[in-house]
Structure 1
Amino acid sequence: MTCRFSIRLWNICIASLCKARLLKKAEAVIIDGIRIGYLPDVVTYNTLVAAYCRFVGVDEAYLVLSRMREAGVKPDVITYNSLIAGAARHSLPSRSLDFFEEMLKIGIDPNVWSYNTLMHCLFKSGYPEVAYKFFLDMISKNVHPSPFTYNTLLNGLCKSGHARNALKLLRSLERRGFSAEIVTYNTIIDGLCKAGMYGAAKRILTEIGESSHSPNAITYTTIMKCCFRSGKFKQGLEVFAAMMDKGYTSDVFGYCTIISALIKMGMIVEAHSCTDEMLKNGIGLDMACYNTLIYMYCKEGKMSTAFQVLNEVVEAGLESDEYTHSILVDGLCKTGSVDGAYKYLERMEARGFNSNLVAYNSLLDGLCKVGKLDAALELFNKMQVKDSFTYASLLHGLCKAGRFRLASKHMRTCLREGISVLASAQRAVVSGLRSSGLKRDAVKLRAAIRTARILRC
């Protein structure tokens, strides 16, 4: 006979191996234990189920249940909670529902974590209505929700685009005595901001200040992002100032958001001051922040400084991305160095960098503006992906050079491929055909535009 304490130590050993992802060794320890008289219990098998769910797959974890039954060990609610969580982790809502139904069928009553995990999976997979039905089912079966239940429900509603309903639910819960934590408030504020409900988000911030809770850096940063996204730069800066007054130190993301907003407002001096403050606070720069700095110097026309920052990126051991090179190509074009932009792009491609559409569009627009149409057409033909901005740049360039028939030809191609042509480009080509005496071509092009518009509808 073995004592219970020995079984506990055996299970701890198996759990340690599972946490280290050494599942084969854990299985070997179980086999060796059985040989010397240890009998696995439900804890042993639950440990295996959880490990297979996390590190291998739900199907492999489910196979453990047949071994449990063969050993005369009945699965419990923890077993099925692990399976539901595993399905949720792999975004398999149908499997989560299957496990939940199977649990009910064999007479195991789900607990609060069964419902929490299932609702989280359903919200995450895009089934908010079904998730809410399980919340109501939970209430009807007298399973008492935990604070995590409410946070799951509110977060799920916000993430699925139902921020208004989430706010109504929060008010209803508060009337019933629910005390929201700062995490809950941040979730609601984020959902309201993404739904464009800035006023409601600001009222929540005021409520937090009047309650026993205090807004944290995440609260301020969320509202700040909302302000900048909706073009309310002044309000965004006020929120940032309030955060600093409260003694919070923004992270690199917050500073980059502020610097980008200041640049868009043309407040370059303030952007530099913010950058200096960030560096003074000892905040390390990531690639997103370096891109923001490069964009700032390109906006100022200081291309040499922008390339110095690029050198710092290399020295810091970071890898520049497509966005970095797109900013530099656009900056070179805006400062009139179109040839330099072309050479830079060729150099990057030679090093294995795949130019994205933004970089190509910037270069094409730059070539058209300086009248290098042959080079622009060559680049246009080289591009495998084109959008409305690609065609708009080329059409305006051709019209500026008086090559209206060629512009009309490319516009027809654009319409046939189902790409929307900017209204300004349409007007430029049609007006150009008319003014150059090609009225019949103008009529045909107008008819093609009307046809394309009807087909899109």
Structure 2
Amino acid sequence: MVRGLVGLSTRLLNICVDSLCKFRKLEKAESLIIDGIKLGVSPDVITYNTLINGYCCFVGIKQAYDVTLRMREAGIRPDIVTYNSLITGAARRLMLDRVLYLFDEMLEWGIYPDLWSYNTLMCCYFKLGKQEEAFRVLYKDLELAGLCPGLDTYNVLLDALCKCGYIDNALELFKEMQSKFKPELMTYNILINGLCKSRRVGTAKWMLTELKKSGYTPNAVTYTTILKLYFKTRRIRRGLQLFLEMKREGYTYDGYAYFAVVSALIKTGRTKEAYEYMQELVRKGRRHDIVSYNTLLNLYFRDGNLDAVDELLGEIERKGMKADEYTHTIIVNGLLKTGQTRRAERHFVSMGEMGMNLVTCNCLVDGLCKAGYVDRAMRLFESMEVKDEYTYTSVVHNLCKDMRFVCASKLLLSCYNKGIKVPTSARRAVLSGLRMSGCYGEAKIAKAKMKLTQVGNS
């Protein structure tokens, strides 16, 4: 390492540190800085800021903050970029106390927060449901700091409001923004995405019209977002019409639009048309990524073509692509639906820590139950560290189907005790099952406990 550093400048050192940080080689980046110092190459504030950003993204805030202490020991003063990296890292983890502490520390050191700092703080407030505090920053703190909210500020706020489900607030803020700035294409896309996720079809179409009136051309993000909304709300015909309109009028679109169309066709059983669209995608020379492979896997499993599944998995491996959680969930679910329960379990085990994601676990538990392997499903259920409403509801229903009403009753009562909401259908299934099997006493006790727990939780 030391021999390779001969002739290094600080600029070249920074480039090398940046490359190592991007590949998560933070220990090597630290070693490189030490070797550079030994050879007389002095790191500067950019060197340390790059390292801090790497720790914030891939390790933790404490480790990133420790770098600032080493900076000061080396006689290098942290700047606004240093603190913005730390604030962004803390906000990403919703560590509000740490964010506010960093703001105070900046001011103590005579470093004044900029728009990026305040944008990040507002975003953190919104994610934590603290709307009033976020708007206080927008309307009071920025003014006191002598800063004017810019277009980026409004985009950040609109995105945060939409992601937190405050669509009406976002629309009000959008009107305020229009009186000060001309919205960007990104602004419209943020709002259209938020409206689509809230399934407000009419308002999303109106926003698309406003986008066109402003002189912008809808891009792949715009149209793919609306396509997904149409398909989620079972408006398959409208979705296909929109896609054909994109092609006919020459609008920009990418592979994701195809995948949205293909996914919708698969879900509605129109596999032949889905194959045709995938073939068109290949003819156009679109490069496959893991999203496209996930779509194809879904298609092959639904068609029962396990040979094509194996071939596709081999292709993913040959191309050096990394399967994500969705890939593994599709595989587990597909194997279960085609009766390959043992193979599904083996694949789940081979996933290691990635296999413990909630969606895949829920899928395997439900699939094993439906295949009649309730005991195996219960062992997996007990080993799960994280469970949600779907987990409990699925297991309760499957236990009732297997005539294990007493066990289902105990599990349901544990949900009430933990404050986990389960559908009324699960409660009805347990109580009717207990009565049907002659366990009238247990049914009466269970009903009374459920009512008592409901009153206590309210």
Q: Compute the TM-score of the two structures, normalised by the length of structure 1.
A: 0.73
Matched, 1:16 2:20: no
Shift of 1:207: 1.1
Cα gap change, 1:17/1:199 in structure 2, threshold over 3 Å: closer, same or farther? same
Cα gap change, 1:85/1:435 in structure 2, threshold over 3 Å: closer, same or farther? closer
Structure 1 runs not aligned, ≥5 long: 1-11, 34-43, 70-74, 334-340, 368-374, 399-406
Q: Which residue does 1:391 correspond to in 2?
A: 396
Partner of 2:79, secondary structure, is helix
Alignment-mate amino acid for residue 396 of structure 1 = K
Q: Which residue does 1:276 correspond to in 2?
A: 279
The one of 205, 227, 241 equivalent to 1:202 is 205
Cα gap change, 1:268/1:109 in structure 2, threshold over 3 Å: closer, same or farther? closer
Q: Is the 8 A contact 1:364 1:376 kept in 2?
A: yes
Shift of 1:187: 1.8
Partner of 2:371, secondary structure, is helix
Partner of 1:261, secondary structure, is helix
More divergent stretch after superposition (95-104 vs 143-152): 95-104
Matches within 5 A, 1:318-329: 318=321, 321-329=327-335
Q: Give per-residue Cα distances to partners, 1:156-205, cap 9 Å, x unaligned.
A: 333343332222222122123x1111122212222233334332222111
Q: Give per-residue Cα distances to partners, 1:348-380, cap 9 Å, x unaligned.
A: 36756657331232132133xxxxxxx544654
Cα gap change, 1:249/1:279 in structure 2, threshold over 3 Å: closer, same or farther? farther
Q: Which residue does 1:123 correspond to in 2?
A: 123
Partner of 2:116, secondary structure, is helix
Q: Is the 8 A contact 1:418 1:452 kept in 2?
A: no
Q: Is the 8 A contact 1:116 1:152 kept in 2?
A: no
Q: Which residue does 1:418 correspond to in 2?
A: 415
Alignment-mate amino acid for residue 60 of structure 1 = V
Q: Which residue does 1:448 correspond to in 2?
A: 446
Q: CA RMSD in A?
A: 3.6
Cα gap change, 1:246/1:358 in structure 2, threshold over 3 Å: closer, same or farther? same
Q: Which residue does 1:213 correspond to in 2?
A: 216
Structure 2 runs not aligned, ≥5 long: 1-7, 18-31, 56-63, 385-390
The total of aligned residue pairs comes to: 399
Matches within 5 A, 1:217-366: 217-248=220-251, 250-318=253-321, 321-333=327-339, 341-345=340-344, 347-348=346-347, 356-366=361-371
Q: Compute the TM-score of the two structures, normalised by the length of structure 2.
A: 0.73
Separation in 1 of the partners of 2:35 and 2:186? 40
Q: Which residue does 1:88 correspond to in 2?
A: 88
Identity across the alignment (%): 26
Shift of 1:133: 2.6
Cα gap change, 1:449/1:279 in structure 2, threshold over 3 Å: closer, same or farther? farther
Q: Which residue does 1:188 correspond to in 2?
A: 191
Partner of 2:211, secondary structure, is helix
Separation in 1 of the partners of 2:151 and 2:341? 57
Q: Is the 8 A contact 1:157 1:166 kept in 2?
A: yes
Partner of 2:160, secondary structure, is helix
Separation in 1 of the partners of 2:109 and 2:305? 71
Shift of 1:48: 4.8
The one of 182, 186, 209 equivalent to 1:179 is 182
Q: Is the 8 A contact 2:413 2:450 kept in 1?
A: yes
Q: Which residue does 1:337 correspond to in 2?
A: none
Separation in 2 of the partners of 1:256 and 1:204? 24
Q: Give per-residue Cα distances to partners, 1:192-248, cap 9 Å, x unaligned.
A: 333343322221111111222111111111222233334444443333333333424
Shift of 1:391: 3.0
Q: Which residue does 1:59 correspond to in 2?
A: 66
Alignment-mate amino acid for residue 280 of structure 1 = R
Q: Which residue does 2:46 correspond to in 1?
A: 47
Alignment-mate amino acid for residue 23 of structure 1 = I
Q: Is the 8 A contact 1:158 1:166 kept in 2?
A: yes
Cα gap change, 1:88/1:270 in structure 2, threshold over 3 Å: closer, same or farther? same
Shift of 1:326: 1.8
Separation in 2 of the partners of 1:203 and 1:246? 20
Separation in 1 of the partners of 2:399 and 2:97? 49
Separation in 2 of the partners of 1:32 and 1:295? 53
